[in-house]
Chains A and B, each alone.
Chain A
Amino acid sequence: MLAGKTALVTGASRGIGRAIALRLAEAGANVVVNYAGSEAAAAETVAKVKELGREAIMIRANVANAEEVNEMFKEALERFGTIDILVNNAGITRDNLLMRMKEEEWDEVIATNLKGVFNCLKAATRPMMKQRSGKIINITSVVGVLGNPGQANYVAAKAGVIGLTKTAARELASRGITVNAVAPGFIDTDMTATLPEDVKASMLGQIPLGRLGQADDIAGVVLFLASDAANYMTGQTLHVDGGMYM
């Protein structure tokens, strides 16, 4: 399905990002595994992609830093020649109640989760415009639509990503580039593992399908958006949350 294509996945060392990298590789894509800190985990993702018979390289870059992002794209293009698929997945949380949230907590989350998407979009646009094609998939969140106490920074960033997705989709449509978003609900990853049990229990109560999502539930929808099956879709947000948001 994606044979000969190159995908760059940010935050691909663990969790949803790793699942996406592996699913795209399974479908035939070579993968650039971006990571910020977890070097050993990123190496593991690369090894798993190679086991699937595809090429993979890992590149360390903090997506919040435009210079590092530009260097990453340069290196990826030197190695693979094109970037056909970009998945903006890298994200962090710094949860706190609005009243207690520190300025740094706000800034860090906006820098990684929102500006990081902008930095990567900008860098990917040039090679994609040249080849007159490209698939960009931004990972947002159900809370970007519903709101969530204790996550003002994260929610603002994720809602911002939805608006950014629509604008990029409109700007780039005439060049054959589609930009869509996937909004996961509560997914069983390191990010949600630290939540207290009572919070998890109350979350489960809000999920019609009655279970936490798995990273692979998200990866399957990302694969769809990255494939030719989704050629006529752009600017959309697909909700993959067990029915939390309808």
Chain B
Amino acid sequence: MADTLERVKKIIVDRLGVEESKVTLEASFKEDLGADSLDVVELVMELEDEFDMEISDEDAEKITTVGEVVAYIESHK
């Protein structure tokens, strides 16, 4: 869990150029981290590569916060 969060955090910080301290489990990609729709699509693509998994479009659409991403990855590993 901690490891997953760290890896997710790193990708978000790299991709969105935000302060690491802002990337909390509750943070919303669009509202708190300034991501637009295309950024979210790209994040999902990078997470798929990082964790070697596929996130379906349907599932990706439901993910809005950092915590939800981490939980999704944990439950699909």
Q: Which residues of A contact B (CB under 8 A)?
A: 126, 129-130, 171, 174-175
User: In chain B, what residue has the closest Cβ to A130?
Assistant: B45
B42: CB under 8 A from chain A? yes
A171 proximity list for chain B (CB < 8 A):
38
**Which residues from A are CB-within-8-Å of B41?**
129
Total interface residues on B, CB under 8 Å, equals 4
B38 touches A126 (CB 8 A): no
Shortest distance from the beta carbon of A27 to any chain B beta carbon, whole Å: 30
Q: In the complex, which residues of chain B have a beta carbon less than 8 angstroms from the beta carbon of A126?
A: 45
- Inter-chain contacts of B38 with A (CB < 8 A): 129, 171, 174-175
Q: How far is the CB of B77 from chain A (nearest CB, A)?
A: 22
Assembled-state Cα–Cα distance A171/B41 (Å): 12
Contact code string B34-55 (vs A, CB < 8 Å = 1, else 0):
0000100110010000000000
Minimal beta-carbon separation of A82 from chain B (angstroms) = 15
The residue on B at minimum CB distance from A171 is B38
Please, which residues of chain A bring their CB within 8 A of the CB of B45?
Answer: 126, 129-130
Query: Which residues from chain B contact A130 at a C-beta distance below 8 Å?
Result: 45
Q: A126-B45, A129-B38, A171-B38 are in contact. List 5 more A-B contacts (CB 8 A).
A: A129-B41, A129-B42, A129-B45, A174-B38, A175-B38
Kindly state the separation between the CA atoms of A174 and B37 in the bound complex, as whole angstroms.
Answer: 12
Q: Which of chain B's residues has its CB closest to A175's CB?
A: B38
Docked Cα-Cα span, A130 to B42, in Å, equals 8
Chain B 29-77 residues near chain A, CB threshold 8 A: 38, 41-42, 45
**Between-chain CB contacts (< 8 Å), 9 pairs:** A126-B45, A129-B38, A129-B41, A129-B42, A129-B45, A130-B45, A171-B38, A174-B38, A175-B38
In the complex formed, the residue of B with least CB distance to A125 is B41
Q: Report the minimum CB–CB distance from A239 to chain B (whole Å).
A: 30
Min CB distance B20 to A, Å, is: 23
User: How many angstroms from the CA of A174 to the CA of B45 in the assembled complex?
Assistant: 17
Smallest CB gap from A172: residue in B: B38
Chain A hits for B42, CB < 8 A: 129
* Nearest chain B CB to A175 CB, angstrom units: 7
Minimum CB–CB distance from B11 to chain A (whole Å) comes to 13
Roughly how many angstroms separate A130 CA and B47 CA in the complex, as a whole number?
12
